[in-house]
Structure 1
Amino acid sequence: MTVLIITHSEDNECIARVSDAIARLGGRAFRFNTDAFPQRARLALASGPGAGRSTLRALDTEEGELDLGDVTAVWYRRVAYGRGLPPSMDPQLRGASVQEAKQTVEGMLAALRVPQVDPLAAVRFASNKQVQLDIAREVGLDTPRTLTTNDEGAARAFAATCPDGVVAKMLSSFAVYRDGEEHVVFTNSLGAEDLADMRGLSLCPMTFQEKIPKARELRVTVVGERVFSASIDSQAAPGAEVDWRRQGVELIDRWRKDTLPPDVEIGVLRLMDQLGLNYGALDILRTPDGRHVFLEVNPSGEFFWLERTPGLPISEALAEVLLGKAPRRGAWSAFLHAPATQHR
């Protein structure tokens, strides 16, 4: 059993953790750093009688060569196409190279008729925050009232309906770099002065949500049919009250094991069913009166710190799903039952 891991060379310790778990269970993990492609990795996709084998060879690691016909599952973790290309490369040629690298790898993934965590189509669909919130409500989860807009008037009118205040966030994760320093865009609470001057909104839409009182913030990681929950008291950490990630490093050892009420856990699994995901990292708030409010799910969300503290066995669970030793969600059926492409 061979698991192909799609990632990049700067990914964190979770790759080694899952790879080790796969090895303990009798499988092989092959790491494909997409930033090494095309310069430091060789990919040959053969199609048709006599065309030869389809192979992947890593030049930047000791992985060696992989016969793609031996792949039994894929873990789609991260991509960074073309990051290793020479800085001196002509921008137009660089853009073309990155696009061709992306199309080539995605073609390989589409041609591999094996279980994937998760299929690229499912990841892209599930990454849409508006879709997540709509489906979460449909399956019975509590969600905050939300407005995404670039209209100042609409934003102010929405804020006026939120008695506990309003927060602003972006639909995508990114950072702004000034003088070489990274400034991550976090969720922010808006005051009267912010709502009075929203001229920049016409240049970039934002997402506004009613502010939810917090007793604990939960990180819920779903792997197949298993649900792992951890929580933190972000309100006890100065600077983390609105977004715990602002003090993420300082809080890394304060996470504790937690559990969801049975009805909420059922709703979470139904959400994953509808999104077609076997893996997801969910952010959920627990209010002082015991409500559980779903915020979002990241199809490729981080989990490594939860294995350190409080010690959740997420890597082991991922390895079991990838190797078929634990139940998998049925989202793969459409991919597995499509006409197979021979790789030999």
Structure 2
Amino acid sequence: MQNSKKSILCITHSKDTFPIEWVIKHLNSAGVKGVRLNSDQFPLHVQIGGSIKPSTFNSENALVQSDVGTVISTEDWLIDESNIGAVWHRKNVTSDLSSALEGDILGQATRESESIKCSLLHGLSDVFWLDHPNIQMASENKWLQLRLARKAGLDIPATLFTNIPSQVTEFYKQYKGDIVAKMHTPLTVSMGKPPAFVYTSKVTEEHLKDLASLRFSPMIFQQRIVKQTELRIAYVDGHCFPAQVNLNSEDDKELLDWRKAPPTISNWKHIDIPEELVRKIRVFMNSMNLKFGAIDIILDMEHKYQFLEVNPAGEWGMLEAELNLPISKYIAQTLIKYSN
């Protein structure tokens, strides 16, 4: 592993806890400075300035000089773009400016701040990203995920994305009423039990009578997979760190979504996965251009690993906290490995 004298910029938010701290600790232990940037503190407590000057060319029309640079600073530190070797993009959160502004100016300032922040940070194009926000955003496409997962040889549930009621009715009949509904976009970033989360839910005959609402909000429907267990796999640059959801009773195991389980019941257990599954996951993640992701998989009663989705910036802290999986160490090593 190469060492780097440049710093690693770690983008997160002010309420992030041990995952960011673990990674920065590993970076510092390796002699590389990890700089924490709380994205929600811009622009009130973080300053970002980017400058770009006209290029200079010689008599043969060859580029001689092109001055482009970004500086990021807080009360505690300052870093120049030229001193950034890699960027870990964990989370981005929009700043709350309501303590300083109100009315129309609040909305305008919030939009402008977020736009400029993302423009300047995402423009750090000459460094390694884990992963670049543009790639993360493109990878949120669940339809693309399922198509590329299938192409990589992963098993997937029969799936329907639609706002056409008749398609849902036919899908329901085709799988003898054993289907579930879910949303494409998450309402939470937590691995805990969120109060506002719309869980994966079973579709019933009563639901079929109220499909007219699909015209306002399409949904995803899938064949329900009878599960042995569910897995979350943290993927870091070709390495898989799998964990099994531990639900103590048979009733708990029937949950369609493990996030419904009380925190005192649902926790994590070690599990080994076949090397063939690891190989297919690598092919899939490469096709998504992702070096990091939190992958959700169901192990069904026929011992098939059914791919559900990958979260490009998904949570993994509880896996390391409970099982001591070296995820943060591998994230730090990957950032150093590819650092300029």
Bucket of the pairwise TM-score, normalised by the shorter protein = 0.7 to 0.9
Could you tell me which of 278, 289, 308 is aligned with 2:302?
A: 289
Structure 2 Cα separation of the partners of residues 248 and 113 of structure 1: 45
Does the 8 Å contact 2:140/2:311 carry over to 1?
yes
Give the counterpart letter for 2:319 in structure 1.
L
1:301 offset after TM fit, Å? Answer: 0.2
Does the 8 Å contact 2:298/2:305 carry over to 1?
yes
Q: Which runs of 5+ in 1 are unaligned?
A: 176-180, 337-344
Which range is displaced more, 258-267 or 49-58?
49-58
Does the 8 Å contact 2:98/2:106 carry over to 1?
no
Could you tell me which of 8, 18, 35 is aligned with 1:3?
A: 8
Does the 8 Å contact 2:86/2:335 carry over to 1?
yes
What TM-score does the superposition give when structure 2 sets the normalisation length?
Answer: 0.86
2:73 aligned partner: 57
Structure 1 residue 138 corresponds to structure 2 residue 151 = yes
1:192 offset after TM fit, Å? Answer: 1.8
1:110 offset after TM fit, Å? Answer: 2.1
SS at match of 1:222: strand
1:94 offset after TM fit, Å? Answer: 2.1
1:342 aligned partner: none
Could you tell me which of 44, 62, 68 is aligned with 2:81?
A: 68
1:147-200 C-alpha deviation (Å, 9 max, x unpaired) = 11122211111111114711110000116xxxxx94211111122222232232
1:122 offset after TM fit, Å? Answer: 1.3
What TM-score does the superposition give when structure 1 sets the normalisation length?
Answer: 0.85
Structure 2 Cα separation of the partners of residues 127 and 52 of structure 1: 31
Give the counterpart letter for 1:309 in structure 2.
E
2:24 aligned partner: 19
Structure 2 Cα separation of the partners of residues 109 and 302 of structure 1: 22
1:144 offset after TM fit, Å? Answer: 0.7
1:135–1:278 CA distance, 2 compared to 1 (3 A): same
Structure 2 Cα separation of the partners of residues 92 and 53 of structure 1: 29
1:235 offset after TM fit, Å? Answer: 7.6
SS at match of 1:280: strand
Structure 1 Cα separation of the partners of residues 334 and 123 of structure 2: 20
Structure 2 Cα separation of the partners of residues 245 and 14 of structure 1: 20
Structure 1 residue 34 corresponds to structure 2 residue 39 = yes
1:21 offset after TM fit, Å? Answer: 1.4
1:210–1:283 CA distance, 2 compared to 1 (3 A): same
- Structure 1 vs Structure 2: percent identity of aligned residues? 27
1:229 aligned partner: 242
Q: Select the structure of larger CA radius of gyration.
A: 2
1:80 offset after TM fit, Å? Answer: 1.3
Q: Which runs of 5+ in 2 are unaligned?
A: 1-5, 54-64, 189-193
SS at match of 1:323: helix
Structure 1 Cα separation of the partners of residues 240 and 158 of structure 2: 25
Does the 8 Å contact 2:10/2:35 carry over to 1?
yes
1:262-304 C-alpha deviation (Å, 9 max, x unpaired) = 2211110001100001100000000122100000000000000
SS at match of 1:122: helix
RMSD of Structure 2 on Structure 1 (CA): 2.4
